[in-house]
Amino acid sequence: MHNTPRPKLAAAAMTALRQEIRRIEGFKNPSGRGALRFGIPEIDNALPEKSFPLGVTHEFISQHAEETAATAGFLSGILSLLLRESGSIAWIGSRKTFYAPGLAAYGFDPKRIIFIEADRSQDALWALEEALRCKGLAAAVGEIGDADLTATRRLQLAAEGSGTTGLLLRTKPRKTGNSACVTRWHISPQSSFPERELPGLGAPRWHAELLKTRGGRPAAWDIEWKNGQFRLPNSPAKALPFRQALTG
């Protein structure tokens, strides 16, 4: 790359090539729903196309209830950015675990959720795939414990076809092997820092690890949800390089 004689042309060719690869990778964005940005350059730059891709699937791994709750908070933040314009979401799960009055604190209206209860995991996978095939939804959240490569590939294809974004909440998965999801996250709770050291709890704060991303680079940040948006905390927080070896 360093010995290119005509950098401008090469850059154009590279851009075209990159776009072609993105297309093959499934970033068709056929619905033209645009991109979702965290509004934080450190995070957006680590993501493919410098944004959180829509019309694809993302997975969030959590190992215990506290992490699942943190993930639900983080996910609700994403949903609130996603639903800023319009649209509704399907939420597929096995039990009535998630509590709408609490989700509402993240700036999106749980009245826009259609809850779908599926007790058996194969029913939940099926329902999520059906929801992802539906062009009428902005996103589908699925509480899916285990999903292998084949299953996630089906979900990814369904999302690519419709432009509906899939968010897989994978709680206590027995295996986290390969998956066809475009990103994989791990969100864990972090101690909050109330402003000016007031008593009580501060804004929700998490350690967000982008474990895998197609076309981006894995990284990790401390991140807060405050005043209806994501932000990096003022106190100790900087993009920490994370397992660079996983790139690709």
Partner 1 sequence: MQRRYISIWFRHLLTDWTAKQKPDMKDRAFVLCAQERGATIIMAANALAEQAGASRGMTLADARAIAPDLLSVDFEPGRAQKILSAMADWCQRFSPLCGLQLPDGIWIDMTGGAHLFGGERKLLRDIVLSFQSFGYETRAALADTPGGAWAIARFGRKQPIIPPGELRAALAELPPPALRISQETAVSLRSLGIRTVADLYRIPRASLSRRFGAEIMLRMGQALGDFEEPLTSQMPAPEYAARLHFAEGLSTPEAIAKVLQRLMDDLCAQMNVKGCGLREGILQAFRLDGRAERLQIGTGSPSRNPKHLFKLFEEKLGFLDPGPGIETFILSAPKTEQFVSAQNGMGMDADNYFHDDNLPELIDRLAGRLGAKSIYGVAPRDSHWPERALKPVGPLEARPAENWPLDKERPVMLLARPEPIDVMAPVPDDPPLLFRRKGVLHRIRRSEGPERIEAEWWLRAGELRDYYRLEDETGNRYWVFRAGHYKPEQKSEWFLHGFFG
**Which parts of this chain interact with partner 1 (CB under 8 A)?**
65-66, 68-70, 72-74, 76, 86-88, 90, 95-106, 109-118, 123, 126-127, 130-131, 134-137, 188-192, 194, 199-202, 204-205, 225
Within 10 Å of residue 237's Cβ, how many Cβ atoms? 18
Closest CA to 229 of 56, 66, 74: 74
CB of 169 to partner 1, least distance (A): 11
Q: Cβ closer to partner 1: 199 or 248?
A: 199
CB of 86 to partner 1, least distance (A): 7
- 3-state SS assignment for residue 224: strand
Helix H or strand E encompassing 171:
strand 165-171
Q: Cβ closer to partner 1: 182 or 187?
A: 187
Closest CA to 166 of 69, 70, 78: 78
Helix H or strand E encompassing 62:
strand 57-62
- 3-state SS assignment for residue 176: coil
Q: Cβ closer to partner 1: 176 or 190?
A: 190
CB of 66 to partner 1, least distance (A): 4
CB of 81 to partner 1, least distance (A): 15
Tell me 192's DSSP state: -
CB of 244 to partner 1, least distance (A): 26
In whole angstroms, give the CA distance from residue 169 to residue 141: 7
Q: Cβ closer to partner 1: 25 or 192?
A: 192
Q: Cβ closer to partner 1: 47 or 89?
A: 89
Q: Is 60 exposed, middle or buried (0-12, 13-18, 19+ CB in 10 A)?
A: buried
